[in-house]
Every structure is written in structure tokens, then in C-alpha cells.
A = this chain, B = another copy of it.
Amino acid sequence: MAEPVRRTRGGGGAARRAQRSAVSFETAKYIERNIPNFEVLNEEALEIIERNAETILEEIGVNFPDNPVALQRWRDAGADVQGERVRLPRGLARELIKTAPASYTQHARNPDRNVVVGGNSLVLAPVYGPPFVRDAAGGRRYATMEDFRKFVKLGYMSKWLHHSGGTVCEPTDVAVNKRHLDMLHAHMTLSDKPFMGSVTEPSRAQDSVDMCGVLFGKEFVQQNTVMTSLININSPMTFDDVMMGALEVYAQNNQACIISPFIVGGAMAPVSVAGTLTQVLAEGLVGIAYSQLCNPGAPVIFGAFVTSIDMNSGAPTFGTPEAAHITYGAGQLARRLNLPYRSAGAFCGSKLPDAQAAYETSNSLNMGLLSGVNFMLHACGWLEGGLVSSFEKFVMDADQLGTLHHLARGIEIDENAQAMDAIREVGPGGHYLGCAHTQANFKEAFWKSDLLDYKPFETWEDEGARDTQTLASLRVEKMLNDYQQPAMDPATREALDAFVAERKAAEPDSFM
């Protein structure tokens, strides 16, 4: 019942040092589900949504503003293009997406950390995008590059996290036109897990590809997927030229993109679940079809970032049942398209890593696993509606991700699991603690938190009656103290440093 667990690479000395450390450097293999997906929509409902999505594309269409190249691609593919509006004949998008692979491997510089995205797999990646960070000691503040590096280190050391992510926080102290270089450099050098590329300008996507060429070798990058990057659709039904430009760079270089409507329900999509799913499907079909127009066969993920809204305040709300319905439904739609699926995350609206944050997060994580998500961005560290990357919540969530691994195993039913000998041995009125079956199996039987408190009340009180946030602060501190950088060929490191220095010197700083 054990996951295949992989120890970090490194020399014998590093391995011994890692073993002596109380903080684990193991990384679990990405999740391979041995449980069914939870399906809330029946065949009739799915067909209605699919038919309506085609109606949207045919009747209403989508916008590709400021993008004559894209419009020409659509014209050539047989779409009806009027101004920036693109209308697709029924079935065109479905035909175009047939070249997209059902799954792909994203390579890491440490091949043991490669991930498969699609099928029954689930890859977990950390929070993406917040301009602020928070910790218990320092409160809420603008994120810096130093914060960014700390999150990459924590991600590297988090056993249940398979992916280093992308913009784990927005390093606001580095120029907007240069911070992607520092972020990529951090992912490449401070971790050996797979990572994401920049999407804020097509040129920065190209920088990401080029920098991967330094790390992996140019030829390797052209033949293998080494990044999965996030392309948001500007819902409703608008495909921003910057994002489409980045998508084009990645697709043409055989790099993967998540193509994801970004929806606050009731604002960017209808206030109903079925209506939102219809729009999500229409948008996803167009985005993925466009990736295949750029390069047939380019790896893509069908994404759905969807939250509900508090209609009193207009605030997005997280971990809600309506978000769960959409996530379950979108998973069914993605599987019917035979595409990898991205959704869910450690979503919450709370300002603090408190009970609200945890209720909302658990609702979302559980629903993400059961809905068949293949790539879960924001799987740890997300706070305050995505405005804040929280250090404490990062390690709290990362610990909970272990529950998803164990849930996904399903239930063993072999002779050892049936445990009939144990039941015979113990009998009525006995207890199992000392029996042979328990002794043989207890180490692997139950998921065990590395963070949560299971101590007797008196011990807990003597130790200061600490709550989860306090325990998490201590864990963050210990992990950062125990961090050891994964080994890297010095020539590669120098080449990466030189690449960043050269690109930075090539243009003045911009903070716009």
C-alpha cells in the first residue's frame, strides 16, 4: 500500500545529511487514482451542455481582439470571422482538438520527478499569482523575490507536492519585465521538480523556452515537454492577444499549456451551474482548438477556474457547493473530450489560515480529487481569494495533500487486507494492537500528518496549547533551516546565471 517514494538525489553525504534531518526530503510520486470519478451530470444533461456550447460558438462566437494573425488562422480553418468576432461552425472546434494528446509527460531536471498529466493521474502544484504574502510574524505585505525563493524551497521539500509551480507569489521588488527571469532561475536552481513558464508577454514565454534550452539542452526541449504554463481566457469568451501570443510560443515549441476560463460565477458567467459549464466548455473548446491551429499535437490541459460570488459584496467565494458542482461537471466534459483536466486547489476566501480557510480548502481539495482533476494548481498556500500566498497555509495544505494520495489508493482487497487471520487471532472482546497482522501492517496502514496535533491534552497544554497556525509557523522555520539545494552541474548553473544577466542587461527596468 506504500506510494513509490523517491529520495532526493545528491551525493552520499547529502543523502546522509538529509536522513539525519527531521524534515523529509522525499517526494511522493504523482497520484495515480485507483478510485472512480464522481459524476453528477447524467448523459442527457451532458448532451444538452455540449449542444448549447456548439450553439454559442456558432451563433454568438468569441472575440480575438488585436490579433490579426489569430483571425487569419481561424479564417483558414473555416470559421466565420467578422471584425474580431470568430464564429465556429458546429463541430469545427471538436474536430480541431482531436490532435491534442490525452496525456503527456512533463520532464523535470531530476527525471525521478517527471510527472504524467492526464488519464488517471493527479499532479499537485502550489499557489500561483498572489501579489501579497502573509506569515504569522510579519503579517500581510507585498511579496518579494526573497519570499518567492522561500516558497520554492518549501515546495521542493514538501513530500506530497509534485510540481514547483510558477508564480508562487509575485515578486514585486523586481522589474515587471525581468522578474520572470529570476522566477525561472529560482525554480531551476532551488528545486528539481517540474515548473511553469512565463505568460505575461510572448517574449517572456520565449525567454522561458530559451532558458529551458540552457537547463535541459535545446534539442531535448524541442522533443520533450519541460513546462506547463497557465493561459487564462478572459471570460466571457474573449481571448486576450498577450495570452494567445504566449500560447502560440509554447505550442510551437511543444510545451504544454493549461487553457483555462477564469470565472467568478454571476460576473463572468451565468449565475447558474449549467450555464457556467456551457460557457466553460465553449471557451475551452476554442482555446484548445486554437492551440492545435498553432501546432497540431501540442500538449494542452482543459482548465476550469471557477468560483461563486457573494452577491451582497461582490466578493468571490471559495469551497462552495456551486463551485464543486462546476468542478465535477467540467471534469466529465473534459473526459468526454479525452483531454487532461485542471481545476480545484486550496481555495479559500479567509484572510487568515484559520478554520474558515481550512473548511473552504478541504471542500475544494476533496472535490478536486473526486472530480478527476489531472493537474491541480493552487494545491497549497492560497489565501484571501488568491491575493495572498501564506507561508503557514502552504505547509498546512501541503500536509493535507497526503490525504488525497491515500484516498486515491482505493481499498486493497487481497488476503492480507482481508485480515481474517487477525480477526480469528483476536476474537470477541480482544484487541488488535499487538496482533501479528497489526505489527506487520501498521506502518503503512494509515496516512499520518507531519503537522497536526494528536498529543494528549495535558502534553498539548504543557507545550503552550498551540493552534495549527503556530505549529505551521514552526514547521516553516524548520524546513527553511533544513533546506539543502539539490545538486546541479556547475557549468549549467553558470550558463543559467549568464542567461539571466544578459537578458536583464538588454533592456531598462519597467515596473508597468
Contact = CB atoms under 8 A, between A and B. Distances in A.
Contact of A362 (B366, B422, B456): B366
Contacts of A7: none
A253 interface: no
Contact of A322 (B35, B349, B445): B445
A396 B272 CA distance: 27
A114 to B, nearest CB: 25
10 closest A-B pairs by beta carbon, nearest first, are: A275-B419, A362-B362, A358-B358, A270-B419, A321-B406, A237-B428, A355-B468, A355-B358, A63-B428, A321-B407
Given A40-B411, A320-B446, A352-B465, 8 more contacts: A36-B40, A266-B438, A270-B419, A272-B417, A272-B445, A275-B418, A278-B419, A321-B403
A79 to B, nearest CB: 14
A468 B56 contact: no
A489 to B, nearest CB: 39
A329 interface: yes
Contact of A44 (B85, B279, B413, B446): B413
Copies in the complex: 2
Contacts of A429: 63, 234, 236-238
Interface in A339-370: 349-363, 366-367, 370
Interface in A259-299: 265-279
Contacts of A55: 420
A430 interface: yes
A407 B272 contact: no
A302 to B, nearest CB: 18
Interface stretch (A105-113, A188-196, A303-311): A303-311
A152 B404 CA distance: 36
B355 A354 contact: yes
Interface in A409-436: 409-413, 416-420, 422-424, 426-433
A447 B315 contact: no
A216 interface: no
Given A268-B431, A355-B358, A363-B362, A278 B455 contact: no
A144 to B, nearest CB: 19
A424 B60 contact: yes
B355 A442 contact: no
A438 B452 CA distance: 42
Contact of A311 (B41, B273, B359, B442): B442
B452 A350 contact: yes
A286 to B, nearest CB: 10
Given A56-B423, A446-B322, A454-B315, A468 B356 contact: yes
30 contacts: A44-B413, A49-B413, A60-B424, A60-B428, A266-B438, A270-B438, A271-B445, A272-B419, A275-B420, A275-B437, A308-B447, A310-B448, A313-B455, A313-B456, A317-B446, A319-B403, A321-B406, A325-B410, A349-B453, A349-B454, A352-B465, A353-B355, A355-B467, A355-B468, A355-B472, A356-B452, A356-B468, A362-B366, A363-B366, A366-B366
Contacts of A279: 423
Interface in A367-421: 367, 370, 384, 387, 396, 400, 403-407, 409-413, 416-420
A309 B452 CA distance: 13
A266 B433 contact: yes
A45 interface: yes
Contact of A355 (B56, B349, B406, B469): B469
B356 A359 contact: no
Contacts of A456: 313, 315
A324 interface: yes
Find the residue from A62, A321, A352 having the highest chain B CB count within 10 A: A321
B359 A361 contact: yes
A39 B37 CA distance: 9
A82 to B, nearest CB: 12
Nearest to A237: B428
A38 interface: yes
A173 interface: no
Contacts of A349: 452-454
Contact of A278 (B266, B405, B423, B452): B423
Contacts of A511: none
Contact of A430 (B56, B61, B236): B236
B351 A431 contact: no
A456 B349 CA distance: 10
A356 B370 CA distance: 21
A473 interface: no
A407 B325 contact: yes
Find the residue from A59, A61, A63, A273 having the highest chain B CB count within 10 A: A273
